Chains A and B, each alone.
Chain A
Amino acid sequence: MSLKQTNLALAKDDTNRFLPWLIAFMSLLAILSVAGFLLLKQVSDLFEYNSNDTMTIQVPSGNSEKRTNKKITQIINILKETGGVIEVSLVPKVEVIQLLKPWLGTISESQTLPLPQIIDIQIDRSSGITPEKISNVLTIIVPDITVDDHSIWLIGLVKTLQSAELMALFILLLIIFIIIGTVIFTTRTGMGIHKQTIEVLHFVGAHDDFIARQFAIRGLVVGLQGGLIGFLFAIPILYVFDNLLQNLEEGFLPKAEVNIFVWLSVALVVPMISSITMLTARGTVLKSLKKML
């Protein structure tokens, strides 16, 4: 069967002139929602990782650097022996300065500024280790030592980011519903325009599927057109957004990027949209034809 020779000339319908552009706009929004979701997930995953498995120990700088270093060695040795502590690492001074730079500016580089020594530890929370337990052991060596459990303040941020992720998914769902509604409306209009042709096709013995297939193919074409246009518009937007993310101050937020996974995911929106338009058109036609004799 040749589609060209039996088609309903759907492409010439007035409703089909604006439809690819509407789908393109919806696709752009869908792509941005998917990209937004993935970038937020990157950030929240990093925060969650930090909050779950790490603690930071601050050792105030003493009057004697030699004595401080000795205490640090002692603390590291104790921590390594403590059950539930997986890894212990002293944060280099350069890194500490970098972390403080967004708040203190160039003052953080001053040699006279008393900077605390920072020890990062990776823990196994299931072992029951807590900041209090570590603090109790270490205050014997350094009384004014502080143990920061990141989860206390990061958990709220992670929850906020996860809410934003859900919001992005909700917007995506909303866009899909709007696309489905639009395709149902235009398909029904198309069926009204081609009512006589559909009747003729029925009279010559065409199955409902034969007629539905022609609307489905048109739906696929419109979905692909709209999806690709939307994707083309999304490319510069995501590129600019990625640059903005890369230029964020170090240490302000965990690094998120529009990586290959994000690009592949947003590219998948195009076949997803065209599949939705195709299946919706087909379903609408089959449902409507059931009402006809």
Chain B
Amino acid sequence: MTEVIKFESVGLRYGLGPEVLQDISFNLETASFHFLIGPSGAGKSSLLRLMYLAHRQTRGIISLFGRDTASLPRTELPKLRRRIGVMFQDFRLLPHLTAFDNVALPLRVAGMKETKIKRYVEELLVWVGLENHMDVRPTTMSGGQQQRIAIARAVIARPKILYADEPTGNVDDRIAARLMHLFDELNKLGTTVIIATHNESIIQEFRRPILRIESGRLTVVPLDKDNKSSDNKSNVKRATQLLESLSPE
């Protein structure tokens, strides 16, 4: 197993304020799956922003795919970002684009052919239950529907790392379970998954190692080996089929 994310004594402060993240050090290996938990304001979103290269750390070293992000030239950032999928808590869907076009965005940016894009995006939208909303703009959709579009956009390019910030916050339990199985299957296909959540039932059901952040400090809680998650076989099978049909980046 190789390390895809490595933090060494990372600190972050905004402007001249106090450090919101202090001495964060951890390694995440390829195809690992972690929950990121912690009270509101503890620094979860700041940590995620460092991981998806929205911010630069004030101190310390962050390596992604074995490369120090601080020394990466700007021209190489897009290539790195195409290997990362992000589902934002506030979704950040483009309001002037349809659901289809929002999901297709990472593929279009990567220069994929429209015929392939059409097939992949339609399959994924069927999976997230939005096959009847492909031409609908996000502004007329419910929070749950927007969330599913955001998740579909994050996973469409089969990223090597997936960050999801509260991905089950606005959906019912059935959809939440289905989305979690999608993440689970992505993980089994080699994607490193980090999910920030407050949803205790999800954490209990899909027992995975935990990154706990509190007052800007991080502790890694390893998985109790005897306590494995119970897979819903029907969902797992369908998620596997779907992801295998999607093209890798």
Q: Does A89 contact B (CB under 8 A)?
A: no
Which residue in chain A gives the minimum CB-CB distance to B105?
A: A204
Partner of A290 from B54, B74, B94 at Cβ < 8 Å: B74
Task: Given A199-B54, A293-B54, answer yes or no on A205-B106 (Cβ-Cβ < 8 Å).
Answer: yes
Q: List 8 A-B contacts (CB under 8 A).
A: A1-B108, A1-B109, A5-B97, A199-B92, A202-B77, A203-B81, A208-B74, A293-B54
Q: How far is the CA of A5 from the CA of B82 in the complex (A)?
A: 19
Q: Kindly list chain A residues whose C-beta atoms are within 8 Å of the C-beta of B114.
A: 2
Q: Kindly list chain B residues whose C-beta atoms are within 8 Å of the C-beta of A6.
A: 97, 101, 105, 108-109
Which residue in chain B gives the minimum CB-CB distance to A206?
A: B109
Which residue in chain B gives the minimum CB-CB distance to A200?
A: B92
B:57-102 near A, CB below 8 Å: 74-75, 77-79, 81-82, 84, 86, 92, 94, 96-97, 101
Q: How far is the CA of A208 from the CA of B78 in the complex (A)?
A: 9
Q: Is the CB of B104 within 8 A of A205?
A: no
Q: How many residues of A contact B (CB 8 A)?
A: 22
Q: Is the CB of A204 within 8 A of B92?
A: no
Q: Is the CB of B108 within 8 A of A2?
A: yes
Residue among B53, B55, B78, B110 with max Cβ neighbours from chain A (10 Å): B78
Task: Given A2-B114, A203-B86, answer yes or no on A210-B92 (Cβ-Cβ < 8 Å).
Answer: no
Q: Kindly list chain A residues whose C-beta atoms are within 8 Å of the C-beta of B101.
A: 5-6
Q: How far is the CA of A7 from the CA of B114 in the complex (A)?
A: 16
> Chain B interface residue count: which class?
20 to 34
Q: How far is the CA of A211 from the CA of B92 in the complex (A)?
A: 17
A:198-221 near B, CB below 8 Å: 199-208, 210
Q: Kindly list chain A residues whose C-beta atoms are within 8 Å of the C-beta of B105.
A: 6, 200-201, 204
Q: Is the CB of A293 within 8 A of B56?
A: yes
How far in angstroms is the closest Cβ of chain A from B203?
26
Q: Is the CB of A9 within 8 A of B54?
A: no
Q: Is the CB of A205 within 8 A of B110?
A: yes
Q: Is the CB of A293 within 8 A of B106?
A: no
Task: Given A12-B96, A203-B52, A293-B55, answer yes or no on A5-B108 (Cβ-Cβ < 8 Å).
Answer: yes
Which residue in chain B gives the minimum CB-CB distance to A4?
A: B101
Q: Is the CB of B81 within 8 A of A204?
A: yes
How far in angstroms is the closest Cβ of chain B from A208?
8
Residue among B55, B82, B86, B97 with max Cβ neighbours from chain A (10 Å): B97
Q: How far is the CA of A23 from the CA of B81 in the complex (A)?
A: 38
How far in angstroms is the closest Cβ of chain B from A206?
5
Partner of B109 from A9, A204, A293 at Cβ < 8 Å: A204
Partner of B153 from A204, A206, A290 at Cβ < 8 Å: A204
Q: Does B17 contact A (CB under 8 A)?
A: no
